[in-house]
């Protein structure tokens, strides 16, 4: 629509420039188009052509053209001339009446039957015979008295000047003018008006009807350049039906914009309210969507610029919601395209959202899914969002995939995993080593969250499970059977290992990691149980290494005191002491730092630390374990 509208306006604009350039030169005004808009359009450019048509309806080509004064000397932008006329209406009226009275005694200037032959008409007559051709062919002008004959331009000019001088020098006229002169001298703008009145006293009568005279002046301009004015009028009237249709459609689209803003204001939680300005005008000008933002303050609503919201006011989550407004506009527009189908791809749409706004987006996606015109592809790294979308949108399992890169760096799609309770899935396969090992951090956390771990059996169970994930004094004596008993005592597990029950738990973890690293082993990028095994094994290898090295450089008693004093963050505390006393190489230092950074999130299983297991590459964990095995010796 805008393209169609712009093409029409481009053609009209060229005709407008041609006409108003001539008017500008005549009126001696550099912004004459704006003057027309201020005069007839209430300052709204969009009304220009309609108002031009209205004025042209009163132009017949014979309208007098007032070209003897500068436009702004009478119609100044500040309205000082109009105010002067209103304030001094009686004095001006008195002057006009005195002038009109003495006019009746003039040979030349007359007023009769509603018609006036005044200074304007005399000047126009003088112009038309100024080349003397009229008189040189023996034509003459005979005045109404039947006696006075004019046979040359000089005699006409002399008559006009003499008659005007006689009128202006009349005592009653001069006295009336002195009153105006006195009041006009204080203001430069009005002083220009006074000079015009001095030479064209018949203008005063028209000035008393200021607004009507203003309109007359414009009709005179168009009459002077009637061909160009008619050309523009014809072009406008020819395109008017199309323009009106476009404007109507733009106005109708306002409803769609308002609906979109309503969706945003009601669903998304942000400290501002969005409103829309006069969209009909703005859609058809060179501006983007005109939105206003009212920010909530303790004292009420305050309108702010969108730039301020983006740069200063909003949090990242609120800012993301703010940008979503543009997305809603685009999608809601698609809904107006009839039955056309659309494919929408959402890439990490929930990133940086506050939780309240994340669920607002989920709700909106649910609405889109219910619309047959939209097909959705939703991509995310956010595990919680992944599960929420699958649940709230009722997506069938065969439409959900986990993407990953395999060992050959090829992108693969894995059928959806962990859509429901992942811990139930792990517990159901505890007879397999990697799942059994995954039960250790799960059970440990359950004991921590549900029991008092400072006394009795819960304390013993909790410490023994911790000794599976850190190298403690008890670690060397714990067997798979011991851990199995702890797990079954705290969790209802249907299947447990049937072999290797007397194997030390640390060796059991190492053996499981070695199996995963075998060339023939097929590692699934998605399965979290493999990542838990490799993380636990890598950390145990690192602690084994640091403990052995610290024992070499510390006195036995000092080491025991330090080692037994560690109650939390053991890997970190060992790394800190190891770096102080053993001066590791750069490569060793970086490797231990990587163990500290990566493994904790993969070993502490709860709802907030589960996501890293999904996003972490199993190949990186495999490499980390192999590096600890080969470098930490």
pLDDT at 286: 41
User: Which has more pLDDT, 554 or 163?
Assistant: 554
Joined tokens for residue 576? 């800190």
Q: Are residues 85 and 56 in the same domain?
A: no
3-state secondary structure of 200: coil
3-state secondary structure of 611: helix
What pTM was computed for the model?
0.55
Tell me: the pLDDT tens digits for 100-120?
A: 777 667 777 776 766 767 766
- On whether residue 381 sits in a domain, the answer given is no
Q: Are residues 552 and 602 in the same domain?
A: yes
Q: Are residues 625 and 574 in the same domain?
A: yes
Residue-wise burial string across 584-598, b where 16 or more C-beta atoms lie within 10 A, e elsewhere: beeebeebbebbbeb
Distance CA 274, CA 169 (A): 68
- On whether residue 552 sits in a domain, the answer given is yes
Distance CA 164, CA 144 (A): 17
Q: Please answer whether residues 170 and 102 qualify as being in contact, where contact means their C-beta atoms are separated by less than 8 angstroms.
A: yes
Q: Are residues 468 and 571 in the same domain?
A: yes
Pick the range with the lowest mean pLDDT from 249-263, 377-391, 426-440, 551-565: 249-263
Segment 292-302 mean pLDDT: 74
Domain of 356 in residue numbering reads as: 268-373
Q: Are residues 229 and 286 in the same domain?
A: no
- On whether residue 26 sits in a domain, the answer given is yes
Name residues whose C-beta falls within 8 Å of residue 274's C-beta, 6 or more positions apart in sequence: 261, 264, 265, 291, 292, 293, 325
Q: Which of 353, 416, 356, 364 is nearest to 393 (CA)?
A: 364
pLDDT at 5: 80
Cβ-based burial of 378 (10 A; exposed 0-12, middle 13-18, buried ≥19): buried
The angle subtended at Cα 590 by Cα 587 and Cα 594, nearest 5°, is 140
Please give the radius of gyration of the chain, using alpha carbons only, rounded to the nearest integer: 46
Cβ-based burial of 139 (10 A; exposed 0-12, middle 13-18, buried ≥19): exposed
Phi and psi angles of residue 344, each rounded to the nearest 5 degrees, phi first: -110, 130
Between 89-103 and 153-168, two packed helices, what is the crossing angle to 10 degrees? 130
Joined tokens for residue 531? 């990542």
Between 480-490 and 456-469, two packed helices, what is the crossing angle to 10 degrees? 130
Distance CA 263, CA 496 (A): 53
Tell me: the pLDDT tens digits for 29-58?
A: 888 999 999 999 888 887 888 899 999 999
Q: Are residues 485 and 615 in the same domain?
A: yes
Q: Are residues 428 and 548 in the same domain?
A: yes
Q: Are residues 43 and 165 in the same domain?
A: no
Q: Are residues 183 and 109 in the same domain?
A: yes
Q: Are residues 94 and 63 in the same domain?
A: no
Last residue of a domain, one of 343, 373, 403: 373
Specify the number of domains making up the chain. 4
Place of tokens 């851990």: 483
- On whether residue 409 sits in a domain, the answer given is no
pLDDT at 425: 83
Q: Which of 568, 567, 508, 579 is nearest to 542 (CA)?
A: 579
- On whether residue 396 sits in a domain, the answer given is no
Say whether pLDDT at 356 is over 50. Answer: yes
- On whether residue 150 sits in a domain, the answer given is yes
- On whether residue 258 sits in a domain, the answer given is no
Distance CA 627, CA 633 (A): 10
Pick the range with the lowest mean pLDDT from 329-333, 417-421, 550-554: 417-421
User: Which has more pLDDT, 13 or 423?
Assistant: 13
Q: Which of 470, 453, 549 is nearest to 505 (CA)?
A: 470
Q: Are residues 57 and 1 in the same domain?
A: yes
Q: Are residues 345 and 235 in the same domain?
A: no
Read out DSSP for 122-164?
Answer: HHHHHHHTTTSHHHHTT--EE-TTSS-EE-SHHHHHHHHHHHH
Name residues whose C-beta falls within 8 Å of residue 237's C-beta, 6 or more positions apart in sequence: 53
- On whether residue 451 sits in a domain, the answer given is yes
């Amino acid at each position: 629509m805008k393209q169609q509208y712009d093409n029409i306006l481009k053609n009209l604009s060229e005709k407008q420039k041609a006409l108003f350039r001539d008017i500008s030169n005549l009126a001696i005004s550099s912004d004459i188009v704006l003057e027309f808009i201020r005069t007839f359009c209430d300052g709204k450019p969009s009304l220009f052509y309609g108002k031009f048509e209205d004025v042209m309806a009163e132009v017949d080509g014979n309208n007098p053209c007032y070209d003897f004064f500068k436009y702004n000397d009478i119609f100044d932008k500040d309205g000082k001339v109009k105010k002067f006329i209103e304030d001094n209406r009686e004095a001006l009226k008195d002057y006009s009446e005195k002038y009109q009275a003495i006019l009746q005694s003039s040979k030349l200037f007359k007023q009769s039957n509603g018609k006036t032959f005044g200074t304007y008409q005399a000047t126009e007559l003088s112009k038309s015979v100024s080349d003397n051709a009229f008189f040189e062919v023996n034509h003459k002008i005979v005045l109404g008295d039947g006696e006075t004959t004019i046979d040359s331009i000089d005699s006409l000019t002399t008559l006009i000047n003499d008659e005007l001088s006689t009128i202006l020098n009349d005592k009653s006229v001069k006295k009336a003018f002195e009153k105006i002169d006195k009041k006009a001298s204080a203001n430069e703008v009005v002083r220009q008006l006074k000079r015009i009145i001095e030479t064209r006293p018949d203008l005063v009568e028209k000035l008393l009807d200021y607004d009507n005279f203003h309109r007359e002046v414009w009709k005179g301009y168009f009459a002077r350049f009637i061909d160009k004015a008619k050309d523009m009028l014809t072009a406008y009237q020819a395109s008017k039906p199309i323009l009106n249709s476009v404007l109507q459609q733009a106005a109708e689209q306002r409803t769609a914009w308002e609906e979109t803003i309503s969706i945003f204001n009601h669903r998304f939680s942000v400290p501002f309210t969005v409103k829309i300005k006069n969209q009909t005008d703005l859609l058809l000008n060179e501006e983007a969507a005109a939105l206003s933002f009212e920010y909530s303050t303790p004292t009420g609503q305050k309108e702010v610029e969108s730039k301020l919201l983006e740069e200063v006011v909003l949090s990242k989550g609120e800012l993301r919601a703010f940008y979503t407004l543009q997305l809603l506009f685009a999608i809601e527009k698609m809904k107006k395209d009839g039955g056309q189908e659309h494919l929408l791809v959402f890439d990490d749409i929930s990133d940086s959202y506050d939780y309240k706004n994340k669920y607002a987006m989920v709700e909106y996606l649910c609405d889109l899914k219910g619309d047959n015109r939209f097909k959705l592809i939703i991509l995310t790294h956010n595990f919680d969002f992944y599960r929420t979308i699958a649940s709230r949108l009722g997506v069938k399992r065969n439409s959900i995939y986990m993407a990953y890169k395999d060992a050959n760096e090829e992108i693969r799609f894995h059928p959806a995993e962990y859509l429901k309770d992942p811990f139930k899935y792990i517990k159901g396969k505890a007879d397999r080593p990697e799942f059994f090992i995954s039960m250790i951090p799960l059970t440990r956390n359950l004991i921590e969250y549900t029991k008092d771990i400072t006394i009795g059996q819960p304390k013993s169970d909790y410490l023994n499970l911790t000794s599976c994930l850190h190298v403690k004094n008890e670690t060397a004596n714990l067997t798979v059977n011991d851990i199995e008993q702890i797990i079954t005592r705290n969790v209802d597990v249907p299947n447990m290992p049937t072999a290797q029950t007397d194997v030390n738990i640390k060796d059991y973890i190492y053996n499981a990691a070695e199996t995963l690293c075998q060339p023939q082993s097929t590692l699934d990028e998605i399965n979290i149980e493999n990542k838990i095994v490799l993380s636990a094994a890598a950390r145990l290898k690192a602690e084994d290494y640091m403990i052995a090295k610290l024992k070499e450089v510390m006195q036995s008693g000092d080491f025991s005191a330090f080692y037994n004093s560690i109650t939390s963050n053991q890997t970190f505390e060992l790394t800190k002491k190891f770096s102080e006393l053993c001066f590791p190489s750069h490569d060793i230092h970086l490797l231990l730092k990587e163990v500290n950074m990566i493994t904790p999130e993969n070993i502490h299983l709860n709802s907030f630390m589960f996501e890293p297991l999904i996003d972490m590459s199993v190949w990186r964990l495999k490499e980390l374990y192999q590096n600890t095995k080969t470098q930490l010796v």
